[in-house]
Amino acid sequence: MAINTPKQTSHLKREILVRLIRAFLSDNFEERTRMIPYDMRPKGHEVPYRCCIYKERAILRDRTVAGLGLSIEETEDYAELSDLASQALERKEPEQKPLTVLTTACKGCVPARIYVTDLCQGCVARPCVNTCKFGAISVKNGKSVIDPEKCKNCGMCAQVCPYQAIQRIIVPCENACPVGAINKGEDGYAKIDFDKCISCGKCVAACPFGAVHEKNQIIDVLKHIKAGKKVIAMVAPAIMGQLPCTPGQLKEAIHMLGFKEVYEVAQGADVTTTTEAAEFVERLEHGAEFMTTSCCAGYNELVDKHIPEMKPFRSDTKTPMYYTAEIVKKEHPDAITVFFSPCVAKRREALQNPKVDYVLNYEEVGAWMIALGIQVGECEEREFKVEASAEARNYAVIGGVAKAVQTQLPEEIPAHPVIIDGLTKQSIRDLKKYAKTGLCELGNLIEVMCCEGGCLGGNATVNAYKPALKQLTAYVNESKSLVSGAEPTQK
Amino acid sequence: MDKKISVKVCLGTTCFVMGSANLQELIEMVPAKYGDKVEVSGVPCLGLCSIDWEFSKAPYVKVDDDVIKEATVEKVLKAIDDKLAANG
């Protein structure tokens, strides 16, 4: 599976996070932050990626700005990192837009188009010329030539060429975005249209130059912990496959970071499961043909912004994060809550939920552990106070939500799950069709996951997909199932 | 029979987060490729990242006594091939 392929860009982002955290923990945060680009590319250092050391430092500076949780778009080029570090410290709440584009790092890729390569043999059959519905291809000097005025980028010619000589040139971010929210602007550099963006993070993962960054919230969280506030972690189920340790060791490691308590979001997922199952039964009894799940933040933003006609079919049940935050704020009204997330989209959901104060992704959590030198695999075991079910802990795996809901349904109203394993242009077309017709011929319970593989495939995960799945599944298997441990089903 | 080549993939926190998560595939791949000529295992922190700022060169892998910085699957396989060739 091609999820979470290793990337040098991730290495750079994580290195900057570690340096930022160490700067914060030092006695001179502002100055240490200002020095990050110079510490990473000191005088005489090799220049591994760009044209010169100055360009590399400029990009590292911008990566540090994103690490501070600020927008490149709204930051002056002449602003010193030391001043920006102070600005980040004064911030009262995180910014609304979760992503920022580094124009310095953006390659300004050549525009997406169909291109005839030198492999073209100028053959006699000329299927490209004959297939093109727009008359855009002619043969000149023994080679096919595309008229850009007429070409509609349909790609038919590329499909029929017997030499595979015609290629589609793509812009990785544009190609990865399922909703057309990121495009090359007039200046040739990528820009995000936040009215369209669903915060899926696919552009972050796709850009080979690492030009799209999440705006981190690590400084905000560090600040509250340093001030001695009661900061509580809520860890999404996917985290149990992320670090080389047991769940109990992970809990202890999170306490070592300074958190006063750690809740499994699986606890909230158990509420989602029962609520969503009851809702499913009610909807079907009232004649609904299908219902979709509602726990993926990326999917929810897709429906709100692009498929409003799906709203009546989307479950009204809240997300596991919502229920967990509700439990935490009830038990600790004075606490600051931090959600540990595998993806960007949860940052948007958190901004709309006053009970979730901050979101850290797994890269930030991992970098924090590095900065403090915590060996997670050597930590003591510390038990979670509430034991979540196996089904809830399995929410992070594709199909896991539907599986959990199924365990809570009466025999006479069975679910036939349909799994949308990752939002793509195609799966969005499918969803639009179901919403328009009010019918899904494949089943009646549609689980939609924005990321391929489910939350374990999130853009901000640190473990590779296969070992993460293995580790998480081992945890699920040792947990209590709703089926064997539950009360006998009421008839 | 020659001594086996030993490959240790560091799975300490630093190496794991900085990229050895993606080296875990070596643990299955190496025995399949080299049989019993090479021994491979994931090991706790080798202590290489804690020296000054060397965390930025993580992940580390040790092939016998040689340390591979910023290790990738390709770098490790090449180091094994070189060792095997040198051992004749």
Indicate if the pLDDT at residue A2 is higher than 60.
Answer: no
Extract the tokens encoding A392. 């809830």
Residue A288 counted as domain residue: yes
Indicate if the pLDDT at residue A196 is higher than 80.
Answer: yes
pLDDT, tens digit, for every residue of A26-66?
999 999 999 999 999 999 999 999 999 999 999 999 999 99
Query: Which amino acid, residue A341?
Result: S
**Minimum CA–CA partner of A467 in chain B:** B24
Whether residues A143 and A19 fall in one domain: no
Shortest alpha-carbon distance between residue B81 and chain A (Å)? 22
Q: Kindly state the DSSP code that residue A190 receives in the 8-state scheme.
A: E
Q: What is the pLDDT of residue A95?
A: 85
Rounded to whole angstroms, the Cα distance separating A274 from A266 reads 13
Whether residues A207 and A84 fall in one domain: yes
Contact B55 A374 (CB under 8 A): no
Query: What ipTM does the predicted assembly reach?
Result: 0.92
Helices A425-437 and A297-306 meet at what angle, rounded to 10? 60
Q: What is the mean pLDDT of residues A115-126?
A: 95
Whether residues A139 and A254 fall in one domain: no
Shortest alpha-carbon distance between residue B80 and chain A (Å)? 21
Extract the tokens encoding A462. 């640190």
Interface test with A, best of B10, B11, B15, B17 (most A CBs within 10 A): B17
Give the 3-state DSSP-derived string for A267-333, with helices as H, strands as E and coil as C: HHHHHHHHHHHHHHHHHHHCCCCCEECCCCHHHHHHHHHHCHHHHHHECCCCCHHHHHHHHHHHHCC
Whether residues A16 and A48 fall in one domain: yes
Provide the percentage of residues in chain A whose pLDDT is more than 90.
95
What is residue A449's three-state secondary structure? strand
Shortest alpha-carbon distance between residue B88 and chain A (Å)? 33
Q: What is the pLDDT of residue B3?
A: 81
Query: Are the C-beta atoms of residues A354 and A326 closer than 8 Å to each other?
Result: no
Whether residues A196 and A341 fall in one domain: no
What is residue A415's three-state secondary structure? coil
Cα A452 vs. chain centroid, distance in angstroms? 10
Residue ranges of alpha helices (H) inside A91-238 are 127-131, 156-160, 172-176, 202-206, 218-226
pLDDT, tens digit, for every residue of A345-385?
999 999 999 999 999 999 999 999 999 999 999 999 999 99
Contact B56 A463 (CB under 8 A): no
Shortest alpha-carbon distance between residue B57 and chain A (Å)? 10
Shortest alpha-carbon distance between residue A365 and chain B (Å)? 9
Q: What is the pLDDT of residue B42?
A: 95
Contact B18 A370 (CB under 8 A): yes
Rounded to whole angstroms, the Cα distance separating A404 from A394 reads 8
**Chosen CATH of B5-87 out of 1.10.357.10, 3.40.30.10, 3.90.650.10, 3.40.50.150:** 3.40.30.10
Residues of A in contact with B12 (CB under 8 A): 244, 375, 377
Q: What is the pLDDT of residue A41?
A: 96
Q: What is the mean pLDDT of residues A309-324?
A: 98
In this prediction, residue B52 has a pLDDT band, given cuts at 50, 70 and 90, of low
Q: How many CA atoms lie within 13 A of A312 on its CB side?
A: 12
Whether residues A300 and A402 fall in one domain: yes
Whether residues A359 and A312 fall in one domain: yes
Query: Are the C-beta atoms of residues A269 and A404 closer than 8 Å to each other?
Result: yes
**Minimum CA–CA partner of A364 in chain B:** B17
Extract the tokens encoding A474. 């081992």
Q: What is the pLDDT of residue A489?
A: 39
Query: Are the C-beta atoms of residues A116 and A145 closer than 8 Å to each other?
Result: yes
Tell me the CATH number at A249: 3.40.950.10
What is residue A108's three-state secondary structure? coil
In this prediction, residue A72 has a pLDDT band, given cuts at 50, 70 and 90, of very high
Q: What is the mean pLDDT of residues A115-133?
A: 95
Whether residues A197 and A297 fall in one domain: no
Q: What is the mean pLDDT of residues A311-339?
A: 98
Indicate if the pLDDT at residue B50 is higher than 90.
Answer: no
A5, A10, A243 ranked by CB distance to B16: nearest = A243
Neighbours of A153 (CB within 10 A): 14
Residues of A in contact with B70 (CB under 8 A): 11
Extract the tokens encoding A328. 């935490």
Name, in order, each residue with C-beta under 8 angstroms of A81's C-beta and a sequence gap of 6 or more. Answer: A33, A34, A36, A37, A61, A64, A65, A68
pLDDT, tens digit, for every residue of A402-414?
999 999 999 999 9
Contact A377 B13 (CB under 8 A): yes
Name, in order, each residue with C-beta under 8 angstroms of A221's C-beta and a sequence gap of 6 or more. Answer: A231, A338, A358, A360
Whether residues A288 and A412 fall in one domain: yes
Query: Are the C-beta atoms of residues A408 and A489 closer than 8 Å to each other?
Result: no
Interface test with B, best of A1, A12, A14 (most B CBs within 10 A): A14
Q: What is the mean pLDDT of residues A374-402?
A: 97
| Domains identified in chain A, total number | 3
Q: What is the pLDDT of residue A7?
A: 81
Q: What is the mean pLDDT of residues A234-257?
A: 97
Helical (H) or strand (E) element with A257: helix A247-257
Mean pLDDT (chain A, rounded)? 95
Contact A377 B44 (CB under 8 A): yes
Contact B12 A244 (CB under 8 A): yes
- Domain limits for position A370: 220-483
Query: Which amino acid, residue A97?
Result: K
**Minimum CA–CA partner of B11 in chain A:** A244
What is residue B84's three-state secondary structure? helix
Whether residues A118 and A204 fall in one domain: no
Residues of chain A with a CB closer than 8 angstroms to some CB in chain B: 4-6, 10-11, 14-15, 18, 39-40, 243-244, 363, 366-367, 369-370, 373-378, 462-464, 466-468
Indicate if the pLDDT at residue A180 is higher than 70.
Answer: yes
Q: What is the pLDDT of residue A453?
A: 96
In this prediction, residue A1 has a pLDDT band, given cuts at 50, 70 and 90, of very low
Whether residues A164 and A72 fall in one domain: no
Give the residue extent of every domain in chain B. Answer: 5-87
B12, B45, B56 ranked by CB distance to A15: nearest = B56
Contact A4 B19 (CB under 8 A): no
What is residue A336's three-state secondary structure? strand
Whether residues A17 and A135 fall in one domain: no
pLDDT, tens digit, for every residue of A256-292?
999 999 999 999 999 999 999 999 999 999 999 999 9
Q: What is the mean pLDDT of residues A189-203?
A: 97
Shortest alpha-carbon distance between residue B69 and chain A (Å)? 13
Q: What is the pLDDT of residue B87?
A: 82
Helical (H) or strand (E) element with A419: strand A417-421
Q: What is the pLDDT of residue A76?
A: 96
The phi, psi pair for A417, rounded to 5°, reads -70, 145
